[in-house]
Structure 1
């Protein structure tokens, strides 16, 4: 699979490393341009490349992992992403300084808002409930696998994400739609920052 990232911070890098370890190609992008990613790409090896956001968004699966206020800028100009599976790993922090502030989206969940900005995309919420230090290492432990909650409105897209993350070693748990499952996972929800293991 060819996996693109919108954003190249710690979450995108952690997912990229899992993907590359399992033989997938990764195309990273950020707001500063491909040249700024040259050292990272070199460290990731021959399965990694840097590109523009539009080029990264042409991959088989796209990971959205940028700070919440930068989402509109990150997806602007991508055009329709008809059928593309987009993993939304964001959390709706309107601000982190001086104190964390959660964006008020009214009745929308965070991923419903993201989906509204990415017409045609099949959005799956995932990775947002885990701190980076639980994503980066091998998710398989002696006592079980790291649980990965996910939600989405497209069953096939969720199956794609479940298969991929199971390959990485996670134990994916489908919570339903972006509305119902997404509400459980987003900031303030009962599963936000919940780190649990599933015994096999």
Structure 2
């Protein structure tokens, strides 16, 4: 299984640091090219590899860590999204529902990536928290997921376990997934909730 992160802002870098912390190889890409990512890779270590966008899109599991509006540009850059697992870490706060065809934001993203198996995750915690250790004295930090594809959900849950998190499935995107998706200028009730699952 290969992994990539598209986006090198605060969220993308925070997630890259978690891969590096657990010695899981991950590519990272942005619109400026690999040269702009050398400093991040040097800071985080050999597990993080700067890539072109085209290279990052070849990964089996792709983390979408760009501003919500930029998902269209990423979508157009792939020749095909068939069978790709896409982790949507974006937030559509402030985007009018009419601009989303009145769909949940992740369902709207999925429409732009036909054939992709989309999983909502990582978007409910601020970047500063995502960069912290997943495991603490209080237990493992919870990451909520939602997806319309059970296989993709299982793939992402397994990755979250490897990263030290406690995955909690909310079910389908349009059902429980609404609990972590901003709507217009309202934050969903689980966004910013930093919850922990005690160790067994």
Q: Contact 1:84–1:122 (CA<8 Å) still a contact in 2?
A: yes
Structure-1 residue corresponding to 2:40: 40
Structure-2 residue corresponding to 1:96: none
Structure-2 residue corresponding to 1:72: 72
Q: Contact 2:101–2:108 (CA<8 Å) still a contact in 1?
A: no
Q: Structure 1, unaligned stretches of length 5 or more?
A: 94-100
d(CA) in 2 for partners of 1:131 and 1:36? 23
TM-score (norm 2): 0.90
Matches within 5 A, 1:154-193: 154-187=149-182, 188-193=187-192
Matches within 5 A, 1:115-194: 115-187=110-182, 188-194=187-193
Q: Contact 1:131–1:193 (CA<8 Å) still a contact in 2?
A: yes
The Cα shift of 1:158 comes to 0.7
Q: Structure 2, unaligned stretches of length 5 or more?
A: none
Q: CA RMSD in A?
A: 1.5
Deviations 1:26-59 (A, max 9, x none): 1111111111111112222222222221210111
2:17 is the alignment partner of 1:24: no
Q: Secondary structure at the match of 1:54?
A: helix
106, 114, 118: which is aligned to 1:111? 106
2:192 is the alignment partner of 1:199: no
Q: Contact 1:150–1:174 (CA<8 Å) still a contact in 2?
A: yes
d(CA) in 2 for partners of 1:144 and 1:47? 25
Q: Secondary structure at the match of 2:14?
A: helix
Give the stretch that moved more between structures: 36-45 or 173-182: 36-45
d(CA) in 1 for partners of 2:26 and 2:51? 10
Q: Secondary structure at the match of 1:102?
A: coil
d(CA) in 1 for partners of 2:123 and 2:80? 24
